[in-house]
Structure 1
Amino acid sequence: MSDDVKLSKVEAIKTDSIYLHGGLDKEMSSEGGAVSDEAYELLKFHGSYFGFDRDTATERKKAGLEKEWEFMVRMKAPGGRITAKQYLGLDSICEKYANGTLRITTRETFQFHCIIKQNMKKHIAAINELLLTTLGGCGDVVRNVMTSPAPKKDKLHLKLVEDANAISEFTLPKTSAYHEIWLDGENMARNPSNEDYEPLYGKVYLPRKFKISVSVPEDNSMDALTHDLAIIQIWEAGELLGYNLLLGGGLGMTHNKPETYPRLATPIAFIEPDRLLDGVAAVVKLHRDYGDRSNRKHARLKYVVEENGIEWTRSKLEELYGEKMQDARPMGQFKVVDHMGWHEQGDGKWYLGVPVSSGRIIDRGDEKIRTGLREVVAKYGVDLVLTADQNIILCDIAQTDKQEIVDDLKSFGIKLVEDITPVYRNMLACVALPTCGKALADAERIKLPVLEEVEQVMEKHGILDEEIAIRVAGCPNGCSRPYVGDIGIVGRMPGHYAMFIGGDFEGTRLNTKILDRVPQENIKEVLDILFAKYKAEKEEGEGFGDFADRAGIAGLAQLVESNLGDKYKWAKAA
């Protein structure tokens, strides 16, 4: 960027922190539950967001009480891989230091909620004792690296996991601040002018967060095209030829700010197998050097690619890579694989995908998910994989244990894939209220009530067996990836949502907004109209998003308005 551009406040905080140290050590050991704005920004790099319980804030203010301050902690687990020992340890940590739940994120990892400041150091240290880390779980660095969750033992899947681990290790921040603050590490010499201290990121790190996935077209269950860098392995006759690099995906936007928008990654180049980390470094540095550091809402790599064009992007990338790059190779059709239920691993053992509503591992009513998973993992010693659709996979199961594991899970009321509808299976929701400071409306807390209404409407129209992906987000930042689902429901204000339709189930097409402020209780009325049209006019095997795209999204929006516009002010086509 030009030296004349006024940098954002966060850029100054990063610069002054001397590689993420700042005053965190003193602040986190001080009295009280809150932290400064500087600490709020730096904590992200260490894997934590600071906030407060938004449900109780107003009443406490009226009573003259301080807000209920709390922290969220997010760890890293490349490809979602967790050992049995680690899982049992994390289950204990969430009970001891957090709110007694584990939450699977849409990036194949865990986060913990409602941690008080006095427990933060113990919480993070306990995670590290399990040989896991929270460093880079949030912040302006490469986040958790995603890949196929399938724990298959064939050459392709083993290579996917190998690459995800290598990229994660390569992009992990090198600062000593994390170990000094949380793990009582040695206070290493700090030299703010030494760029080699963070050879990949530099002293100010990236302009914004950076997301990477490594996958194959045959399994796009992690929505690869929504990443800043989507690495697609190219195989032929059982051999890895190399990698396509697709740049500039990202979903965050701001309502009524057209200069912000979701975007899917674009194929830019192909690299040889032995240059993977060189390619990753070049793309990360492209963002580092050319990303917008003046406006954080315009700071993602997608804006660099979109506004400068493909040729410019390729040229700058080649400069950073050190040589000319090949054109991206042809890729097969992207598909979404369902990893729920039983699947063979390829080594004589099996894996079982277990659905977890909104990724929240909690004992809820008759469904004792947390207790049941803990008992099964402890009894059978199975490793686990966390999936991008907020579910969990139990791995390495012997044929002789299959039925007993099913019986054990069902004894705790845990639903398996045969117990739920396809729309239940394919509905995601972010955390939102009351713990997310960005949320404009509920998401996780309304998922099951909205799902029940959706199922009723689908059953009414005879389409309950259709695969329809619905994503609910509490704000337009889009953590539940609402802009690539068949239907996106995005928080607009408390109790009201913007509705989007026309994405495809495979995650290769963005959807389009049709309505802006739909009250939660009226979502079912909108879907009733749309599903009736879908049932009447869909082609054989056509998904809802594909139908909406073919039929014309503007026309469907007008259809809703013509049916509901006289009754509701909000029912005006967007």
Structure 2
Amino acid sequence: MSEQKLADNERLKRESNFLRGTIVEDLANPVTGAFQGDNFQLIRFHGMYQQDDRDIRAERAKQKLEPLQNVMLRARMPGGVITPSQWLAIDKFAAEHSLYGSIRLTTRQTFQFHGVLKPNIKLMHQTLNKIGIDSIATAGDVNRNVLCTTNPIESELHQEAYEWAKKISEHLLPKTRAYAEIWLDGEKLETTDEEPILGSTYLPRKFKTTVVIPPQNDVDVHANDLNFVAIADEGKLVGFNVLVGGGLAMTHGDKSTYPRRADDFGFISLENTLAVAEAVVTTQRDWGNRSNRKNAKTKYTLDRVGSDVFKAEVEKRAGVAFTASRPYEFTDRGDRIGWVEGIDGKYHLALFIENGRLLDFPNKPLKTGMSEIAKVHKGDFRMTANQNIIVAGVPVAEKERIEKIARDHGLIDDGVTEQRKNSMACVSLPTCPLAMAEAERFLPDFVTDIEGILAKHQLGEEENIITRVTGCPNGCGRAMLAEIGLVGKAPGRYNLHLGGNRNGTRVPKMYKENITVAQILADIDELVGRWAREREENEGFGDFTVRAGIIAPVLVSKRDFYA
């Protein structure tokens, strides 16, 4: 590895002066709305991606204008918990200082601002800082926002797991003062920056971590590098099973890239959690591929060196020996939409937000509705990894008022089907520069078509097929853990993947490549018809496609995914 030429991103990080670059100089440049050179990449470590509106790019070019450059910011919200007062502040900023006026709930259990122009970027960070939020390390080659199962029923267990998600996030954060200096006008100190965990050139690639509470797999553990599966005894958290090496991103046409399930390393007690988290990260830091970014994720390191070798190194660095994994089972991964009662006697209202896009639509002022709830709610909100939001901790006396606000603003719709609740898409066009095909804007009508197919074959309203669409193969919409997964290939064309399962423990396999939406719907129509006629009792669509021999199961990703 040392003899191979390093990827240019390694130079960029090494020369960045611990992520400072010349971002300050770029901010002061009024000639362009863009960040130049290395800064285009460096702002990602500060939680932002530079984008432009691709819908109007050609028109602006005709006018001899540069693309409408702006940034998307992704906040750091371990476990997705946000207070009503924080919500009102982000709602106000989105309305006043973003091009689109919306708040986007993401699959990483946080929110994003889209369309923030350069003059407002510093204000954005300072606004967030005033309410106790930042965007440190939500992008770039670092450990990103730590997810935690949003379990509103077992409130005490959730609180314990959530506290660990926060501790893990804080422990693995970059230590550089670059964020405070650049965005918060922090004092520039003469001390030398040190990164004892991430290293001076940070990680080889992005790194994702979750805390999950069985039986809910709402965070999709097999999409993540490091996962802590909560093990409880009589309702109290006693430790974690540790799963390492999951990931969904791949590259079209490059068979050295593939989605991969995480490996189970075993059980650890609570006091060893941070040591093991650090050991996994530093092992990946030192052993990961820094020459080829397409093979730089933890999943490829495990396959290259061997899972047992990687595990032994983690044990050595942490001074901890894994014991046999404790029994657990995933049975579901969707959000419980509607009211549920927690063991603490309080109620929790999970609101379905299609594609996570909170905006005031005609006859559905969703964004206003959330702000109205925030004005009266005394509990908290919990953003989910399925792009929904939970109004948590509602006393019995407040239920009626909260529900009325939600219904009046279209946040509760009794007509939403189980199929729609279990469908998801990434942002894609017009803002994502990587998008090859539509996803968020495409999904609603596509779900309507699938609903029609289910009805045609007389499948009841409770039936659904976990369906996900991504505009490119980078995995943001987690299509590689769906029963039906569409991955964008070109405008109006997708690769169709089948064979995932309902609990999110099997990667689907490509069924057909680069086909039109009409072809996809025709294939789904035929296959759903077979499922309706031939299925076994309670057999999900993905399991049926495997059992019936329609698609081969992906048991070992590296071996089976392209076979």
Select 1:259's aligned residue among 243, 247, 256.
Answer: 256
Match for residue 181 of structure 2?
180
TM-score by length of 1: 0.93
Select 2:242's aligned residue among 245, 251, 275.
Answer: 245
Instruction: State the alpha-carbon separation in 2 of the partners of residues 241 and 382 from structure 1.
Output: 27
Give yes or no for contact 2:276–2:315 (8 Å, CA) kept in 1: no
Select 1:424's aligned residue among 410, 413, 420.
Answer: 420
Aligned length: 552
Task: Note the C-alpha offset of 1:129.
Answer: 0.9
Q: Which secondary structure does the structure 2 equivalent of 1:189 belong to? A: coil
Task: Note the C-alpha offset of 1:225.
Answer: 2.0
Match for residue 567 of structure 1?
none
Give yes or no for contact 2:46–2:138 (8 Å, CA) kept in 1: yes
Match for residue 533 of structure 2?
536
Residue 146 of structure 2 corresponds to residue 145 of structure 1: yes
Task: Note the C-alpha offset of 1:404.
Answer: 2.7
1:151-206 residue CA offsets vs partner (Å, 9 max, x unmatched): 34643212111111111111121110000000000012253xx6xx1111111010
Match for residue 524 of structure 2?
527
Q: How does 1:306-345 map to 2 (within 5 A)?
A: 306-336=303-333, 338-345=335-342
Q: Which secondary structure does the structure 1 equivalent of 2:495 belong to? A: strand
1:116-161 residue CA offsets vs partner (Å, 9 max, x unmatched): 1111111111111110010111111111111111234643212111
Amino acid at match of 1:540: E
Instruction: State the alpha-carbon separation in 2 of the partners of residues 65 and 472 from structure 1.
Output: 33
Task: Note the C-alpha offset of 1:544.
Answer: 0.6
Task: Note the C-alpha offset of 1:428.
Answer: 0.4
Task: Note the C-alpha offset of 1:92.
Answer: 0.5
Larger deviation, residues 118-127 vs 463-472: 463-472
TM-score by length of 2: 0.95
Residue 33 of structure 2 corresponds to residue 6 of structure 1: no
Give yes or no for contact 1:468–1:544 (8 Å, CA) kept in 2: yes
Q: Which secondary structure does the structure 1 equivalent of 2:442 belong to? A: helix
Larger deviation, residues 46-55 vs 236-245: 236-245
Larger deviation, residues 149-158 vs 128-137: 149-158
Task: State, as a whole percentage, how many aligned pairs show the same letter.
Answer: 38
Amino acid at match of 2:316: E
Amino acid at match of 1:7: L
CA gap 1:555/1:328 in 2 versus in 1, 3 angstroms? closer
Give yes or no for contact 1:487–1:501 (8 Å, CA) kept in 2: yes
Instruction: State the alpha-carbon separation in 2 of the partners of residues 8 and 494 from structure 1.
Output: 30
Give yes or no for contact 1:150–1:339 (8 Å, CA) kept in 2: no
1:227-262 residue CA offsets vs partner (Å, 9 max, x unmatched): 100111222344433221111000000111110000
Instruction: State the alpha-carbon separation in 2 of the partners of residues 6 and 337 from structure 1.
Output: 44
1:380-435 residue CA offsets vs partner (Å, 9 max, x unmatched): 3442000011001001212122223222222123334x321101000001000110
Larger deviation, residues 253-262 vs 21-30: 21-30
Amino acid at match of 2:136: L
Structure 1 portions without partners, runs of 5+: 557-572
Residue 457 of structure 2 corresponds to residue 458 of structure 1: no
1:489-539 residue CA offsets vs partner (Å, 9 max, x unmatched): 111111111111110010001111111112234432221111111111111
Match for residue 210 of structure 1?
207
Give yes or no for contact 1:249–1:263 (8 Å, CA) kept in 2: yes
Match for residue 563 of structure 1?
none
Residue 47 of structure 2 corresponds to residue 44 of structure 1: no
Give yes or no for contact 1:251–1:263 (8 Å, CA) kept in 2: yes
Select 1:393's aligned residue among 390, 397, 405.
Answer: 390
CA gap 1:238/1:63 in 2 versus in 1, 3 angstroms? closer
Structure 2 portions without partners, runs of 5+: 554-561
Larger deviation, residues 479-488 vs 400-409: 400-409
Match for residue 53 of structure 2?
53
Give yes or no for contact 2:57–2:67 (8 Å, CA) kept in 1: yes
Task: Note the C-alpha offset of 1:59.
Answer: 2.6
Q: How does 1:93-242 map to 2 (within 5 A)?
A: 93-98=93-98, 99-152=100-153, 154-189=155-190, 191=192, 197-242=194-239
Give yes or no for contact 2:334–2:386 (8 Å, CA) kept in 1: no
Match for residue 70 of structure 1?
70
Select 1:444's aligned residue among 421, 440, 443.
Answer: 440
1:294-327 residue CA offsets vs partner (Å, 9 max, x unmatched): 1111110000112222221122212221344334
